[in-house]
Structure 1
C-alpha cells in the first residue's frame, strides 16, 4: 500500500466562517464575551489569546483545557480556514495518489499520539476559534490585536504562535515567478491547490526548487504520483543544515535509483510560461532550461514576527524568550518557530523550526502561564532537539546537535535491499548528536538517549565498529527519561 511508504506520524471544519461580523460573534451572556462599539470597531476581551492557528495553537489549547479553563476565557485567532492540524501531513500523506490523508483525520493532537481535537472540541471546552481572521496590527502596550475587519481583540495574556512564512521567489526578484502552477506548501489551501495540479498534470514534468525538508519530501511525493521529477538546489549536497556529505550521498543515490534527477550547485533564475500563464520551464542560473508542468518551491522560511517589531526583544531572527517562553513583556509569550529560547543542553539561545518543538514549547508556555497565576514554580524548558522525515520506504530520526566530527556506521549503500545506517557527532570527546535511518522505535530511543546524555568517547574507529551497540550499552547503564 502506498500509505505504508510514507508512514505518517503527523500534520476540516464545517464550511469556513464567513467574513461577516455576525458569523464570528453571535450573542454571548458572559461579560468576557461581550462586544462593545468603539467608533466603527468592535471589541472582544479574553483572558487568553493564542495568535496563530497551527500546530502550536492546538497543543496550547489542549494544555489550557487540561489545566483548567472557564468557557469564554480563551480564543484562538487564526488566518487559516480550518481548526489546527498536524502540518507535516501536507508534504506526506496528503499527497498520496490513493488513500490520501484528509481532514478531519489529522487534526491535532494525533501527531503525538493524543486525542484528535475536532472543531467541536473547541466549542465543548468554551474555546472560541476565530478562523479566517487576519491580524494586521498588534499593540502590546495596550494589549490589543486588530483584525483586517477592524475588530479589536483585547487580552490579559497573549501566546504568539504565528509560525513561519515561506520565502517567495517573487519577493526576491526571480523573473516569471508569478506564473500559474508554481507552488509553495505552507497550509492546507496550498496543499489543495497542489493536489488539483497533480491531478490535472498527471504524468507531466515536475521541478522541485530546493533540497531541504520540503524539497526532499515533495520530490518523493511527486514521483509516487508518476511525475518526471527534477530537483534543483544550490548546495553541494541535499539538506546541508543537517546532513554530512556522506549521509546526503545515500539519499541522493536513493532518489536517483527512483528515477529522480538532481541538479546541484545552481538556482532558478527565471520561469517561462505559455499564453494562458501556466509555467512551462525553469531557467537555471547556469544556463540549463528544465521543462516543467509543475514547480514546487521550498527554499526556506522566515518567522512571522513583523507585527511585533520594536515592541519585544528579538534575537537570532526570532522573539527572545526566557526558559518559560515569556518575552520581554511579562504577559506575552512566544512559542514554536518564532521563539529564540535558552537551550539548556547547550547553554545558548536558539530558534528551532520543527513540529516537535512547536508542540512541546506551546505546552510548556501554557504550564508557565498557569503556574504564574497560582504563584508556583515549574522547571525551565529542557529540550533535546529532534528532527525526522519519511519518504518512500525510508524513515530517519536525528537527536541532538550536528557539530564536531562525524562517525558513520552501518550500510549506507543506496542500492542495498534493506539499507540501515547511522551517524554520531562528537565534540570535545563527547557524543552530542545521533542519526539513524530505518531504525526501530526501540533503536530510535537508544540514539535519543545517547544525544541527551552526551557520553564520552575516545576511540572513533571503535565507535564506528560498535554502531548501535554503543547506544545499547549506554541504555543499559541506567535509567533514562526523555
Structure 2
C-alpha cells in the first residue's frame, strides 16, 4: 500500500482530536498538511452526550447535532468542514503500530502514515468485568459506554426491553448518569457499587447523601458495599441475573458497567516517558520525544496551581489541552512562546433535573452549605474544601451561571476563610470574591 505523508497527524478522533483540529485551522494550517486518524466511523463528537441526551426516550440527541465543538459553544464541525479546510479525516482506521523513531504509524489494514509532528489523542478505554475474570461477563446485554457504537447498542436494548430491569454496576459518573436516563426510559434500576457512597473520588459523604436519597425518590434501588461477581443467562445467551458478592441475586434484562477507564498508551510503551499511568508531558504537552505531543486523558502534565503533576480524565481538560498543544506547536515553529498551561480542574454532571459543577482540588476539611434536602423544591447546596486556611475547592448543585462562575473564581483565587465563616455565609461568600 502507498505510504501517506502529512506534516501533522492527530491519532485519535475523540473530543481532543476535534478541538485540536479546530485550533490547527485557527493557527493557519495549510490544506493537505493535517490528518486525523480515528478508529471510529464518524467525525469527532462531544462524548458526554452519550450518557445523557443520546439515551433520552424522546427528543434524543443524534449526529450531526453534537459534533465538536458545540459542547463549548463553538461552531459545529461537520465532516464537510474537514474537507473544506483540506484536513484528511481518516475514519474506521485503527493504528496498531507506532514507531516514533521513524515517525511512522501503521494501521490494522497495513497502511503506513508518515508525520513530522504527532499529536497523541488516543483517550481512554473502559475497564471491562472480563478484565477481572468475572464469571459470565461476556453474556449478551452487558453494556459499556465509551463510543457512539456502544450507545447505539444500548438504545436498541432499551427498545427491546421496554419496562424491563437494569442493573448498573458502578457508582461514578456513568453509574449516576445512566441510572437517571434509565429511569427516564421507565426501566427499573438497581445501582451497585462497593464504596460506602456514590462518586467517592469527588463527593464527600454529605454531598453523596443528597444524591443517593434523590435517586431513591426517583425509584433507583441503591446497593452499596458489594460488587457483581457473576452473571447467569437465558438459553439465548442474554443476561438473566446478576450475582453479588454479598449473596444477593438481582434480576436483569440488561446490565451497564461503569467501573472506570484506562488511558490508551500501549502503542507508545517503551518509546515515551510515562508517569501516573499516562504519557509524561511538559506544560506545552510536549512528550520526552521531539515533535510528539500528548493531550487529553493520556497526558500526565504539570498542574501549575498545585505544584504537582496529574492526569485528568474529563472533557474540559481534553478540549483545553488540545488547544494548548497546537498553540505550542505553531509557537515553536515560529520561534515564539506561549504561556504555560495553567489549568483549574473542572468537573460537572447533569442528571434528572440536577446539575452540579466542581472547581479546584477536593483535599482538606469540608463544609456543606445551603439546602441539601432531596425533597426540597430548590435543593441548591454546595461544599467548600479548605486546606491550610484557604479555600482550594468548591462544589455547587443547581447554581446559576453567575453562581457557578463565582465558585470557579473562589477555587482559582484561594481566599483565606474559616469553616465557621463558610458555614454561616455559604454561597454568598463566593459571590463576594
Query: TM bucket by the smaller chain?
Result: over 0.9
User: How far 1:472 sits from its partner (Å)?
Assistant: 1.4
Within 2, Cα distance between the matches of 1:468 and 1:168?
A: 40
1:471 counterpart (422, 430, 433): 430
Give yes or no for the alignment of 1:72 onto 2:36. Answer: no
Alignment of 1:72-471 (within 5 A): 72-457=32-417, 459-471=418-430
Query: 1:340 is paired with a residue of what secondary structure?
Result: strand
Query: 2:229 is paired with a residue of what secondary structure?
Result: strand
State the aligned residue count: 433
Within 2, Cα distance between the matches of 1:245 and 1:203?
A: 32
Within 1, Cα distance between the matches of 2:211 and 2:290?
A: 45
Query: 1:342 is paired with a residue of what secondary structure?
Result: strand
User: How far 1:172 sits from its partner (Å)?
Assistant: 1.2
Query: 2:319 is paired with a residue of what secondary structure?
Result: helix
User: How far 1:42 sits from its partner (Å)?
Assistant: 2.7
Within 2, Cα distance between the matches of 1:64 and 1:425?
A: 38
Within 2, Cα distance between the matches of 1:384 and 1:343?
A: 8
User: How far 1:428 sits from its partner (Å)?
Assistant: 0.5
Within 1, Cα distance between the matches of 2:2 and 2:141?
A: 39
5+ long unaligned stretches in structure 2: none
Within 2, Cα distance between the matches of 1:472 and 1:237?
A: 30
User: How far 1:408 sits from its partner (Å)?
Assistant: 0.6
Within 2, Cα distance between the matches of 1:81 and 1:295?
A: 25
Per-residue deviation, residues 89-109 of structure 1 (Å, max 9, x unmatched): 000000000000000000000
Within 1, Cα distance between the matches of 2:290 and 2:85?
A: 26
Within 2, Cα distance between the matches of 1:454 and 1:330?
A: 36
Per-residue deviation, residues 320-343 of structure 1 (Å, max 9, x unmatched): 000000000120000000000000
RMSD over equivalenced CA pairs, Å: 0.5
Query: 2:2 is paired with a residue of what secondary structure?
Result: strand
Query: 2:235 is paired with a residue of what secondary structure?
Result: coil
Per-residue deviation, residues 54-113 of structure 1 (Å, max 9, x unmatched): 000100000000110111100000000000000000000000000000000000000000
